[in-house]
Chains A and B, each alone.
Chain A
């Protein structure tokens, strides 16, 4: 079975400061990992994905994440927060060997950005 734990349900940062959203996964195989963002009244949007290539993954809007197998972590970072980054972020795992490739979501982290 696979699972995802997002260690913080809420993160608050000031505009222009770094962002760190933490994610740990549990999996018995080499998973595919994703970060999705959900803005109010909008659909989930893919930020970035890890698929067993480079361990440091760059995504849209300046976000990046590093896959650390030894720590079973896939934390999301951004050097400088912008007001428009305020949203709900989901860490997601998928088993590439499962025919359906269903996604298993973490509980989400709400990012608040203060001016």
Chain B
């Protein structure tokens, strides 16, 4: 399968713990995005990378969140000192910018539950 993959698919943690998610984009894609989707809502943009550079961060990305894409391939999203409000589906998407059309391909998501 050459699509976007995410690991783990589900994560249950206790409040105050740190968690890390991984995203592997489609191999030739130079852009990688993170979105968060809470129950009953549409996904909201968190941050994106072009190659290894993190170029934009949403105001939703508090200082407890950090994302990396060290070699311009896979990316990790870490949440420190998790709170119950962090419970959500975390989606990763990748794209290869061609012209002005930015079709993003999404992974299956990581569902985080904070108890």
Contact = CB atoms under 8 A, between A and B. Distances in A.
Nearest to A52: B100
Contacts of B100: 32, 51, 96-97
Nearest to B45: A102
Given A94-B102, A96-B101, A106 B42 contact: yes
Contacts of B44: 105
A104 interface: yes
Contacts, number: 64
Interface in A23-57: 32, 34, 36, 41-46, 49, 51
Given A51-B100, A105-B42, A100 B108 contact: no
A51 B107 CA distance: 23
B26 interface: no
The residue among B44, B55, B93, B103 with the most chain A CB atoms within 10 A of its own CB is: B103
26 contacts: A32-B102, A42-B108, A43-B3, A43-B106, A43-B108, A43-B109, A45-B106, A46-B103, A49-B101, A90-B42, A92-B42, A96-B101, A96-B102, A97-B100, A100-B48, A101-B95, A101-B97, A101-B102, A102-B56, A103-B33, A104-B45, A105-B43, A106-B42, A107-B41, A108-B40, A108-B41
